[in-house]
Structure 1
């Protein structure tokens, strides 16, 4: 059973389901879950080699304090060298500064992803993920309309959902970084669609979660 570490420091407790109503019960039935409410607790779990998945749900990890920066470096190093999947999601994407997120992508994960330099906005997005070994798509909705903090600079093989073609923006992205994987889910509504995406990125989706058919991709 995978070990999932949830970083939740700002009082929006993941376990009280203030972020995603149905995600925690599903995770609890499929993985061992620990929610860290302090940076030191998170560091202890990471340094022990416990997590297979890290869910970053708020932007405290990106603050300028020495403690936060030490945690960010630990998460990035652990992800790249211990086959861990780290997902940036929830209030993290809604609250983090654009320049800070760009810096994290470039300097901690060597990615060209950049935050769209505007407030979260609503667009239609269509599923794009094609590497089934990286991410299964059978439990994901083929298209959605979402208010999100969108990304630019995402190469097609790294995009899970692309927004309007003329804008070249991504709603979600997922790629290999070293031995691990990094995911980004820009949704700021915290509904059913991003819940499904979290489960898929964690490889905790199941056949009973399937909601679409192959013909959906032919339209």
Structure 2
């Protein structure tokens, strides 16, 4: 069973806020879950090699203070050694763009850069199925999000449908032996919830849209 470490470092519990309707119940039924409310607790779990998945729910890890930097470096190193890390929840709306750009480049070796906070119609691309399954993901929707630019097509999960706006709503890339996911959504709808589970490889056949459509038919 996978071990999921949730980083909720702003002084309140992300899971207790019920921001996503089904995310926590599904995580609890499919993985061992621990939520860290302090940087030291998060470091303890990471340094002992416990998590296989890390969910970063707020932007504390992007801070320039010593403790935040220590945690960031631990997460980046641990990700490169095989962990799946996903930036989600409140993260995109709170992260300062210049700091986030620096983290993408320096800590994860990625070209990704913050583009803009806006709404676009987006559509699902067809990434490598070994990287992320798309069976449970909607084909298109219109989120309000912090979009990224300079994302290679192979690392783009959802892209703006406008031909003049080659920006990504959700990205997913191999980083060393691990994977880093980013979801720019600032709301907590069904679409990002499905995407979080897919990025964590915790989606299940009962989530697949094809099966739902077949039952309804």
1:62 aligns with 2:62: yes
Distance 2:158 2:23 in 1: 20
In structure 1, the partner of 2:80 is 80
Equivalent residue runs for 1:13-162 within 5 Å: 13-81=13-81, 83-116=82-115, 118=116, 120-162=117-159
What is the CA–CA distance in structure 1 between the aligned matches of 2:3 and 2:94, rounded to whole Å? 26
Shift of 1:17: 3.5
1:130 aligned counterpart, secondary structure: coil
> RMSD of the TM alignment (CA)?
1.3
Any idea what SS the aligned residue of 1:176 has?
A: strand
- Conserved 8 A contact 1:127-1:162: yes
Q: Is the 8 A contact 2:170 2:182 kept in 1?
A: yes
Which residue is 1:207 aligned to?
205
Q: Is the 8 A contact 2:12 2:37 kept in 1?
A: no
Distance in 1 between the 2:199 and 2:210 partners?
18
Gapped runs of 5+ residues in structure 1?
214-219
| Structure 2 runs not aligned, ≥5 long | 212-217
Give, in whole Å, the separation in 2 of the partners of 1:209 and 1:13.
26
Paired residues in the alignment total 211
Give the Cα separation in 1 of the matches to 2:163 and 2:44.
43
Distance in 2 between the 1:175 and 1:34 partners? 24
* Aligned-pair CA distance for 1:12: 4.4
8 Å contact 1:140–1:212 — kept in the other structure? no
